[in-house]
Amino acid sequence: RIPKSLGSVVQVGSTTFHDLSQSIMMLRQNKKSGTRTEDGLHARDDALLQLISKVSGMNIERNCRSSSTVEGTRLDAWIGQPPTVMVEEKADATALDQAMAEVHKKFTWILHYEKVDFVFAIAIADDLVKMEAVGRQRSAVSDVFNLHQVEGCIKAVQAAINIGRVCKHILINSLLHPVTIPFNTTISRQRCHIHISHTEVTKTYFKDSMNTTAQARLKDFYNETKDVEFLERATDFKVNKKGELQVKLQPVGLVRRPQSVREAKVAMRCIMTAMAGCSERGWMLNDVRWQNIIKLETGFWCVIDCEFARRVGLPIPSKLAVKCDWAQKCSPSTDLYMVGRLLEELKRELELDKDLDALRQLVTSKQKCYDQGLTASTVMGKFCWLREVSPRGSPGQGVGRKRSAKQTNAEPPAKHQKGKTQKGVTKRK
């Protein structure tokens, strides 16, 4: 018998929920579809996830494409975007540890979780459930709950509600950076399908947007620049039955502009280093915009989306969103022009210090940059800070025009999710 406190009315903090009883009864009745496969667990397991979803206000998403080519990186189910609760299911009761290990394999800390101390993993193997609060420094692991037993069912409900309360705190305080492409979901763009997981990005280019010549060129670029620092790298190439090129890329980061002078300097170091490395190998990036630059968990930045990279001397691609005003063919100075555009855009939002402004004036001058045949390497030689600045240093002196000095030079965000004792999450790992 389900206690009244876990029946039709559930008190969570100052909020009373009246619509959890159906989910709880579904768990108690242990309703499965009757098949001995992972799919047979969905009806019952979704009831557990609905408890978390209703308490937190976050949405549930489930992988319904078991034959997907990105199956190795896609979770069985998840809650939130980016995922705050990650779920793996197994039909075999002996595979509980394997299910939890797969969650950890598919998850890595990325900048989207910058203000979050914990995310949650749920492993389900037949009737057995184990939950974990995955932290940066430490983790809290629950007991193993048996949904075939009343006591195990009640404890699973308690733990699910506790997880929902933390997720609600994350949601209402906007602790997750918003995503433009939902994680673990495949979406279509003009040139390709894109799938993003915690560990990699998979792009499948449409055949009419990338012919065999363009496919070969992109593969050559990634192969020849695989050792370039602060540049995305391809970990796998594959051409599917439709003749479409599928590329797996790393790392995964957050698309956003620098918000302080120090961040801007670190970003410039990373961008210039990537340009110098490509130029030394005979390649120009061409499409360097803030939309194609991500910030990483380490505090460094990375150049991504290299479809428009071309060898030195070839015509600049005609479909670029932004083109160099100086030339029609790819050269080191045409990439430096893009750096100038980046700094011009930042100047509208930040008060650039003298170092950044001197760099901006140099690379935006046709006479000083293009006519002199400057390269990224020679520019880095003129500005020693481009080789030395680090995200671990002291904050920059400049402040954003819309941000006070106190905000810019503030200490790191306070911890938002202290490790309070919660029922159903007891063991320390």
Element (DSSP H or E) covering residue 310:
strand 310-311
Element (DSSP H or E) covering residue 47:
helix 42-56
Report the distance separating Cα 369 and Cα 379, nearest Å.
9
Q: Please return the burial class of 112, using the count of CB atoms within 10 Å of its CB with bins 0-12, 13-18 and 19+.
A: buried
Question: CATH number of the domain that 89 lies in?
Answer: 3.90.1570
Does the residue 396 lie in any domain?
no
Question: Do 31 and 143 belong to one domain?
Answer: yes
Does the residue 10 lie in any domain?
no
pLDDT at residue number 417: 43
| Residue where the block lists tokens 């037993």 | 149
Q: How many CA atoms lie within 13 A of 200 on its CB side?
A: 17
Question: Do 147 and 287 belong to one domain?
Answer: no
Question: Do 163 and 202 belong to one domain?
Answer: no
Report the distance separating Cα 79 and Cα 364, nearest Å.
46
The residue among 52, 142, 48 whose CA lies nearest residue 89 is 48
Does the residue 179 lie in any domain?
no
Does the residue 421 lie in any domain?
no
pLDDT at residue number 401: 35
The residue among 399, 367, 369, 417 whose CA lies nearest residue 119 is 417
Does the residue 379 lie in any domain?
yes
Question: Do 338 and 285 belong to one domain?
Answer: yes
Walk along the chain (429 residues) and give the pLDDT tens digit of each residue. 334 444 344 455 555 555 566 677 777 776 655 555 566 677 788 889 988 998 899 999 988 654 444 456 789 999 999 999 999 999 899 999 999 999 999 999 999 999 999 999 999 999 999 999 999 888 999 999 999 888 888 889 889 988 998 999 999 999 999 888 889 888 898 889 999 999 999 999 998 889 899 999 999 999 999 999 999 999 999 999 888 999 999 999 999 999 999 999 999 999 999 999 999 999 999 999 999 999 999 999 999 999 999 999 999 998 888 888 778 899 999 999 999 999 999 999 999 999 999 999 999 998 888 888 899 999 999 999 999 999 975 333 333 333 333 333 333 333 334 333 333 333 433
Question: Do 221 and 167 belong to one domain?
Answer: no
Question: Do 99 and 236 belong to one domain?
Answer: no
CB 109 within 8 Å of CB 393:
no
Report the distance separating Cα 229 and Cα 291, nearest Å.
19
* 276 CA to centre of own chain: 26
Q: 223, 250, 277 — which closes off a domain? A: 250
Cross-strand pairs, 287 = none
Report the distance separating Cα 379 and Cα 23, nearest Å.
62
pTM of the model: 0.77
Cβ neighbours of residue 59 closer than 8 Å, sequence gap 6 or more: 53, 79, 80, 81
pLDDT at residue number 36: 53
Question: Do 36 and 158 belong to one domain?
Answer: yes
Report the distance separating Cα 246 and Cα 230, nearest Å.
22
Does the residue 425 lie in any domain?
no
DSSP 105-164: HH----GGGTT-SEEEEEEEETTEEEEEEEESS--EEPPPEETTSHHHHHHHHHHHHHHH
CA distances from 394 to 78, 248, 256, 267, 383 (A): 38, 36, 21, 15, 19
Question: CATH number of the domain that 202 lies in?
Answer: 3.30.200
CB 30 within 8 Å of CB 127:
yes
CB 264 within 8 Å of CB 256:
no
Helix axes 261-280, 354-363, angle to 10 degrees: 40
CB 426 within 8 Å of CB 159:
no
Q: 148, 173, 198 — which closes off a domain? A: 173
Question: Do 138 and 238 belong to one domain?
Answer: no
Q: What share of the chain is helix, strand, coil (3-state, %, to 5)?
A: 35, 20, 45
Question: Do 138 and 27 belong to one domain?
Answer: yes
Question: Do 122 and 168 belong to one domain?
Answer: yes
Does the residue 196 lie in any domain?
yes
Instruction: Spell out the alpha helix ranges (H) of 173-211.
Output: none
- Extract the tokens encoding 343: 């700094």
Range(s) of the domain holding residue 231: 185-250
Report the distance separating Cα 339 and Cα 341, nearest Å.
5
Does the residue 318 lie in any domain?
yes
Q: Considering its fold, how many domains does the chain have in total?
A: 3
Question: Do 69 and 86 belong to one domain?
Answer: yes
CA distances from 253 to 113, 181, 296 (A): 10, 12, 5
Question: CATH number of the domain that 292 lies in?
Answer: 1.10.510.10
CA angle 221-225-226, nearest 5°? 115
Q: 229, 250, 271 — which closes off a domain? A: 250
Report the distance separating Cα 43 and Cα 29, nearest Å.
11
pLDDT at residue number 49: 93
Question: Do 337 and 362 belong to one domain?
Answer: yes
